[in-house]
Amino acid sequence: MTTVVDDDLWSAIGDPTRRKLLDLILSDGPASASGLSGRLPVTRQAVAKHLAVLDRVGLVHVAPAGREMRYGVDEAQLARAVAQLADVGSSWDARLRRIKKLAEALQAASDTSTNNDKKE
């Protein structure tokens, strides 16, 4: 268990601009760097660099279309990223639950063993 997280993949989706980029491509289909930059508060070059990062970790793939470079999401890789999010989330969630349970147990123990100071 505790599937080891891929730090490269994680930090790729850790950047807010890259997350928005993935959102845009996911909702409207493959697009070019210029087209995407028009819908984000960053320049075309910044978008191009982010797409290069996403491409390096396999989250998007690029295909030439006329004079454009059209980027689309790699569904399998994004699915892996989603799995990692769920994995870390559930791991922390489990620990939080365990801590809470332990705290309740301690509380109960102190209540039963010494029913003295605390009124009620």
Instruction: Choose one: 40-48, 76-84, 98-106, 108-116; the region binding DNA (CB under 7 A).
Output: 40-48
Question: How many residues in the chain?
Answer: 120
Judged by beta carbon, residue 42 or residue 88, the one nearer a second copy is 88
Range 110-118, long-range pairs (CB < 8 A, 24+ positions): none
Judged by beta carbon, residue 17 or residue 84, the one nearer DNA is 17
48 lies in the binding site for DNA (CB under 7 A): yes
Residue carrying the six token digits 């491409």:
55
- Contact predicate 30/71, CB 8 Å: yes
- The entry of a second copy, DNA, none near residue 78 (CB within 5 to 8 angstroms by kind) is a second copy
Instruction: Choose one: 39-47, 75-83, 88-96, 97-105; the region binding DNA (CB under 7 A).
Output: 39-47
Question: What's the order of all strands across the beta sheet hosting 60-65?
Answer: 31-32, 68-73, 60-65
> DSSP class of residue 120?
-
Q: Angle at Cα 106 formed by Cα 105 and Cα 109, nearest 5°?
A: 85
Interaction site with a second copy (CB under 8 A): 5, 7, 10-11, 14-16, 19, 22, 26-27, 75, 78-79, 81-82, 85-86, 88-89, 92-93, 95-96, 99-100
Interaction site with DNA (CB under 7 A): 11, 15, 17, 32-35, 41-46, 48-50, 53, 66-69
